[in-house]
Amino acid sequence: MAKHQILIVDDSRMMRNVIKEHLAGFDCDTMEAIDGEMGLGLARKAHFDLIITDVEMPGKDGIEMCRDLKADPSTRGIPILIISSFDSEADIHRGFEAGASAYLSKKDVFDQLYSSVEAILSKSVFNSSKQILAVDDSFLIRHLVETELSKSGYRILTANNGQDALEKMETIHPDLILSDIDMPVMNGFEFCEAVKGHDRFKSIPFIVMSTNSDRGHMQRMLRRGAQAYLVKPFNMDQLTILVDKMLSDHFIMLLKDRENLDSERRMMLSAITSLVNALEARDSYTKGHSTAVAGIAAAMAELSGASKEEVRTVLIGGHLHDIGKIGISDAVLLKPDRLTEQEFAYIKQHPDIGANILSPIDSLGDIVPMVRCHHERMDGKGYPAGLKGSKIPLWARITAVADTFHALTSNRPYRTGMKVENALQIIEDVRGTQLCPDCVDLFLQWIGQDNSKKIEEWDETGSFQGQMLLSDSLPV
């Protein structure tokens, strides 16, 4: 992460040095100015994450500099900490009115400067990451909202009606929406309903801004999913405080949701790992099969350019792809001879059984299609649904290649596993009919990275060294 850039504005060299000493714990670079005019000039030329300023200085004082910074679009988002010996209620009020983010008495510098700077920088980083969409047919309102909220570091996008806003939301996902009600083309009622009815947008906090103070209007908007209602004209400080609170509460809620999701996923994976272990304990062939398929499939996904999260999904799915065999009787699963047509029809139920086991678990939703579809074929002759070509989910197609390779090279109750070279030839022969050509290419690319070594390891142990484990896939 880049160092924080901090500007210190004070006519006292001693005070500037004191402030710099107290900032030593931060990974930051500092610049100094001796008065407001110099500070303003530096702020307009260079980027700063924070400005710390005195009030009483010759020439342009700190309050005047603060007002000028907040009036300039290029600098209005910089947080300002005022440190002054003028610390009466009136002085503090004057500082906040000028746009300061915090006000600290010089006598409190030793005890509170570090924590104050830490809190301001943390909030500034948070605010600058947030995109707010302001929707109003009045240019004046849009300009006012954009000007005031950008002073707190927020990124503002504007639209002049609901339809305009929805079109912009096709490429930009706002973190909060401010919307008027009475607008042409698409009004606030219709816009709010469209937002809350869309899976991607329904969790976005929605604040109404309207001149209509009718209780019925307020109730209608709140029933449509709006979280707050402001009656125009409103105080811009009131709006800023409300936006701060809404985004902060929403952020905390999202963190809790993520923690709950991770906790649920860990517990479920622990339970399912026990099922996999139980399944492998029944069948000497199955033992190690899931780990091998998972490692190969995850490596293929990584080669495809998948994200870390997607590779982790494939890894988990590979471990669980045969979980449905837990519902197949031992008489069929462990039969030492070839299966009859009736028995084969019975064992072909295992992808659906596995998908049904995992389907109730929301956090494993991306894995269910892998489990259900890993026996589908490109020519549509697979099972359970007879899907064809690209209708088969990509991760299932990848898993199918890994599963096929391991099945060919492993010992089964009724035959001995074949040599790797022979298995590779069969995989080439069925590309385009049984297996996805692109996924076969990924597999060959992976095994070709060090072909002789991998073949030697596989023929000796039945699995490649360095295979990833299910425990590696748990969220951290």
315: Cβ contacts below 8 Å, ≥ 6 apart = 294, 295, 297, 298, 468, 470, 472, 473
The answer to whether the pTM exceeds 0.85 is no
User: CA dist 277 to 207, 282, 313, 320, 399, Å?
Assistant: 51, 9, 19, 11, 20
The Cα–Cα gap between 444 and 282 comes to: 32
Measuring CA to CA, which residue among 383, 307, 299 is closest to residue 349?
383
Judge whether 125 and 5 are in contact, CB under 8 Å.
no
Judge whether 265 and 243 are in contact, CB under 8 Å.
no
Judge whether 190 and 162 are in contact, CB under 8 Å.
yes
One pLDDT digit (tens) per residue for the chain, 476 residues: 568 899 999 999 999 999 998 888 888 899 999 999 999 999 999 999 999 999 999 999 999 999 999 999 899 889 999 998 887 888 889 999 898 989 999 888 888 899 899 888 888 888 888 999 999 999 999 999 999 899 888 999 999 999 999 999 999 999 999 999 999 999 999 999 999 888 888 888 899 998 888 788 788 888 888 888 888 888 888 888 888 888 877 666 665 666 666 676 677 667 666 766 776 666 656 667 888 898 899 999 999 998 888 998 999 899 889 888 888 887 887 777 778 888 888 889 999 999 998 888 777 888 999 999 999 999 999 999 999 999 999 999 999 999 999 888 887 666 677 888 899 999 999 999 999 999 999 999 988 875 444 444 444 444 443 344 433 333 32
The domains located in the chain, with CATH, are: 4-127 (3.40.50.2300), 131-234 (3.40.50.2300), 255-473 (1.10.3210.10)
- Quote the crossing angle between the two packed helices 289-303 and 437-447, to the nearest 10°: 100
The Cα–Cα gap between 344 and 121 comes to: 64
Q: Is 386 left (phi over 0), alpha (psi -120 to 50) or beta?
A: left
φ, ψ dihedrals at 157, nearest 5°: -120, 140
